[in-house]
A and B are shown apart, each in its own frame.
Chain A
Amino acid sequence: MSLIESLPKVRKLTVPKADGLLPWLVPLAILLVWQAASVAGFVSPRVLPAPSDVARAGWKLLWSGELGRNIWVSFWRASIGFLIGGSIGFAFGLANGLSQLSSKLTDTTLQMVRNVPHLALIPLVILWFGIDESAKLFLVALGVFFPVYLNTLHGIRTVDPQLIEMGRVYGMTDGELFRRVIFPGALPSIFVGLRFALGIMWLTLIVAETIAASSGLGYMAMQAREFMQIDVVVLSILIYALLGKLADSASRLLERLTLSWHPAFSKH
């Protein structure tokens, strides 16, 4: 009797929990296999230190304050660069999506610049800015600019013209039309740009920090390589993965909050 009663309860409790943990199952399994392989001596610590060693290195750096400082510096650079590049990209996307003149004036130029790999500019950027903050911010902003620009533009251009006609027929002013029809219609595409941009943001920053910096996660990894501290190098790489996941989760949360009307995003 009591067993039967408790059955559905148990199910209700475990199913959502398992659902939330499921995505972490594979990373966790990889860690376990890796640890086991290291302990058994299949992998030399000179090639790949055990996860426990990496954790120990992380703990040490955390205590010394070095890790926190470097993460903070990288995070700061990433966000400021993202804000600058993202806002400029968004502004150009809006302008070129809404105005024929603006599009004719700037789109060709932007498309040409877009096809230059922005990391190829690193030598030039170092010559311009040296290795201080502005060099990193410039590169991140440039990298983030294009995905945001392209997707904002695409979003605005593909808003259903029938809805725009409807808005005009029902007497919406240009401002209202933008606020109530064009912008919400472009939002799903803008979010796609945002998520691309977040990926490029980390990529650019780490490369820039690895090549020319005196602080930050990329710099920490580079320093560690010089002193053969392979555990710190691996630690940095793992932190990149976690930060990337964090950025992605944040943008997903934003999507869920703002796109609840969209059948693909509605959770409730």
Chain B
Amino acid sequence: MQQALRIPVSSVEETDGKDAIGPAEAFRPVRKPSVSPAKPETRGLPLVIRDLRKSFGDNQVLRGIELEIPAGQFVAIVGQSGCGKSTLLRLIAGLDKPTSGTISFGDTAARSEDIRVMFQEPRLLPWARVLANAEVGLGRDRKAAGAHDRAKQALEEVGLAEKRDQWPSVLSGGQKQRVALARALVSGPRLLAFDEPLGALDALTRIAMQRLLERVWIDQTFTAILVTHDVAEAVALADRVLVIEDGRVAEDISVDLPRPRRRGSAELATLEGSILGQLLGPGTAG
């Protein structure tokens, strides 16, 4: 199933290194804990942002973001509400236009199917069955042959194959978000932007979804950018945590811990504490 989801994308080096991994081990993270730039086996898009600014009227939300994200990295963006983290994500995803500055995706020209967004809400079409909702993610390939099969495979990937003929209204919140993930994955994106996709889920579903996100990221080697206000989630998932303050990157912390990371481990807690301290100001977080 992992094979089928690896849709050949025109300009990337195919994921040769991963063929050594049998399907059974597909869920096991085999990657090294890495902050090392540009892993050779990745097909993710690298991202370079130069002096990015965005204002809404008089309100300057982003004041000159400088950022380089190597291909295939998992980056979490944290910050207080209104710090501009969601705006940054919307600019990267092409949902809004920057006031000034540039966002470029390496040397290769990115197709619109290469960049996908997962929103805080599932945003499924209530009048389309689960399978049809996943097919929406194929973009221009929707009408191509095999669209059905690709959507089915994407649903299998998120563990919802048996729900494909259901209406979204009968699914639970976590299941809806998984369909939304399948929709985002089905085109084989090279960059996936997550806008607090787990914010509305209950604690247990949330942890299950975090594992699922990590698994598909390892499986499909896209570049992941996760906006979240949950610092624990950020350090559990990301290679690198960016703290945004006043429209600028205030901190750039690499999380050099092996995967799978054990939730509640001392290292994670220490890291979380120090980032929280940064966010809330000195002396407020333990």
Contacts and interface: CB of A to CB of B under 8 A. Distances in A.
Contact of A165 (B95, B126, B137): B95
A166 B119 contact: yes
Interface SS majority for chain B:
loop
Interface size class of chain A, counting residues whose CB lies under 8 Å from the partner chain: 20 to 34
Given A171-B139, A171-B140, A261-B167, A166 B123 contact: yes
A185 to B, nearest CB: 8
A23 interface: no
A170 B136 contact: yes
A249 B91 CA distance: 50
Contact of B167 (A169, A184, A266): A266
A171 B112 contact: yes
Interface size class of chain B, counting residues whose CB lies under 8 Å from the partner chain: 20 to 34
B121 interface: yes
Contacts of B140: 171
A184 B168 CA distance: 14
Contacts of B168: 261
Interface in B94-127: 94-95, 112-113, 116-117, 119, 121, 123, 125-127
B55 interface: no
Nearest to A173: B140
Given A261-B167, A263-B169, A180 B95 contact: no
Contact of B127 (A162, A166, A261): A261
5 contacts: A170-B183, A184-B125, A262-B126, A262-B127, A262-B169
Contacts of A260: 167
A162 B121 CA distance: 9
Contact of A169 (B95, B125, B126): B95
Contacts of A166: 119, 123, 136
Given A172-B136, A180-B136, 13 more contacts: A163-B123, A166-B119, A169-B95, A169-B116, A170-B136, A170-B137, A180-B128, A184-B125, A261-B167, A261-B168, A261-B169, A262-B127, A263-B169
Contacts of B93: 169
A148 interface: no
Contacts of B128: 180, 184, 261
Nearest to B186: A170
